[in-house]
Amino acid sequence: MKVFLAFTFVIFILLVTSSVYKNDALIFFSKNHTNLLKGFAILTVFWGHIGSAYSIHGIQWIAGIGVSLFLICSGYGLEASYNKNGLKKYWIKRFLAVILPYWIIYLISAAIVSNSFTLELAFQIIIFIKANWYIRYILIIYIIYWALKKVVLRLKLSQKFFYVLLFSTFILWFIIESLFFAKANAPSLLARQMFAFPLGIVIYDHFSWFKELLTNNRFSIHLTFMVTAIFSVMFLGISQMDFIVSLPYLLSNTISLLTVMPLAFLVIRISCLCYKLFNNGLFNLLGTVSYEIYLIQYFSRQIINQEAWSLYICFIVTILLAITFQIIYKKFRLSKLVKI
């Protein structure tokens, strides 16, 4: 525990000291702002997974806040791309940005760390059986978004009707996930994130309203977010109580919706109000390679043991591998051949 706390303190010092490297003004949900949010998100996920190696109870909920941020940014980004380019080369972009890096990193990493790397294992990776849950989750989201936009375009439906389809689909998915696919050891893992992606879409489509809400310094808004944070933390605790855990998953997962996603929304507000601190070098670096870090840390965290140095080695090695992969991938990836 002391080793992990020391590691956390070092990370905090890095954040503070790297916040002085530039002093740009906030441009709400600009590429730089969302990149910083992704940097925060991947740090909480990576930090949470490292903490899990030390059996720190409840730390997975902190990582859940990071996942919510990723999904919010993803929803915002897809809606922004759609409004700019429609569905032009939609799957080529997803393939190059998400699927191909996953295949490369997982196949190479599995070949290195697996004691018995076989064609069967490689095939399971390729068809996403051996993928981390988030990879499958985001791919389903991409399919849903593409399919609903196709329906809207084909039938010439309004944006309001798109929202009806969107939230109806995610509500149905939430119910099906809770009733049939929830895992006993983590029943709310997917369900608690269910509406983060749609929230990102709503933020894009109601940009001015959310900008005002998340950047305004009025006391009433401060108070609203403070109360929301308190209730979210309370629900985090409530969701772990035995009588809640013993409820049918549909009910316990409904409670989990009030936990990590509202806190992720609070992080966005903090990033706006404390932008000088949030706009730091570490978040900026991690944000640019956030997806690569997510993929690599699935394997690299095996470095961690009870020795203090292993945390720092894991952290440094993962970031260096992510940067190296991104540089090489950008140089040789198929986008050199396919104009996007």
Query: pLDDT tens digits for 270-297?
Result: 999 999 889 999 999 999 999 999 999 9
pLDDT value of residue 306? 76
Distance CA 105, CA 42 (A): 17
pLDDT value of residue 229? 94
Distance CA 135, CA 128 (A): 8
- The per-residue DSSP string of 184-240 comes to TTBTTTTGGGTTHHHHHHHHHHTHHHHHHHHH---HHHHHHHHHHHHHHHHHHHHTT
- DSSP SS3 for 303: helix
Distance CA 160, CA 174 (A): 21
Strands of the chain (E only): list them: none
N-terminal to C-terminal alpha carbon distance within the chain: 48
170 in Cβ contact with 195 (< 8 Å): yes
In sequence order, the 6+-apart residues with CB closer than 8 A to the CB of 211 are 28, 29
Per-residue pLDDT of the chain (340 residues; tens, 9 = 90+): 788 889 999 999 999 888 876 678 899 999 999 999 999 999 999 999 888 877 777 788 889 999 999 999 999 999 999 999 999 999 999 999 999 999 999 999 999 988 888 999 999 999 999 999 999 999 999 999 999 999 999 999 999 999 999 999 999 999 999 999 999 888 999 999 999 999 999 999 999 999 999 999 999 999 999 999 999 999 999 998 989 999 999 999 999 999 999 999 999 999 999 998 899 999 999 999 999 999 999 999 888 887 888 889 999 999 999 999 999 998 886 555 555 4
Instruction: Look at residues 65, 80, 69, 79 and name the one whose alpha carbon lies nearest to residue 36.
Output: 69
Longest dimension (CA), the chain: 60
Instruction: Look at residues 210, 285, 207 and name the one whose alpha carbon lies nearest to residue 21.
Output: 285
215 in Cβ contact with 272 (< 8 Å): yes
**pLDDT tens readout for residues 200-231:** 999 999 999 999 999 999 999 999 999 999 99
Distance CA 174, CA 283 (A): 31
In sequence order, the 6+-apart residues with CB closer than 8 A to the CB of 240 are 58
Amino acid at 36: L
Q: What is the pTM of this model?
A: 0.94
297 in Cβ contact with 304 (< 8 Å): no
Q: Is the dihedral of CA 128, 255, 162, 204 positive or negative?
A: negative
Distances (CA, A) of 87 to 63, 161, 172, 275, 340: 31, 18, 24, 33, 12
pLDDT value of residue 22? 66
Which residues sit opposite 186 in a β-bridge?
Answer: 183
Which residues sit opposite 183 in a β-bridge?
Answer: 186
- The per-residue DSSP string of 243-279 comes to HHHTS-HHHHHHHHTTTHHHHHHHHHHHHHHTHHHHS
